[in-house]
């Protein structure tokens, strides 16, 4: 989801720099978004870890068109 591909090699992971952004204007109903060219992950501020996990699973499982 974050990289725009469904597979990465281990050497790619070692050099990968991920930037996390939590926009103040977003709420937890907003979907997780990514800028795949820059490895930037936009995460709303979630109230619970369970909500974070659910949102991440939804983003990962709805990756049609990537890879």
Catalytic positions are 37
Helix (H) or strand (E) holding 61: helix 49-61
42 φ, ψ (degrees, to nearest 5): -100, 115
Cα dihedral: 33, 35, 38, 40 (round 10): -20
């Amino acid at each position: 989801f974050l990289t725009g591909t469904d597979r990465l090699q281990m050497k790619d992971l070692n050099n990968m720099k991920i930037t996390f952004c939590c926009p103040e204007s977003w709420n937890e109903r907003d979907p997780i978004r990514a800028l795949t060219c820059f490895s930037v992950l936009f995460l709303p501020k979630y109230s619970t870890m369970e909500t974070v996990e659910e949102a991440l699973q939804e983003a990962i499982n709805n990756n049609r068109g990537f890879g």
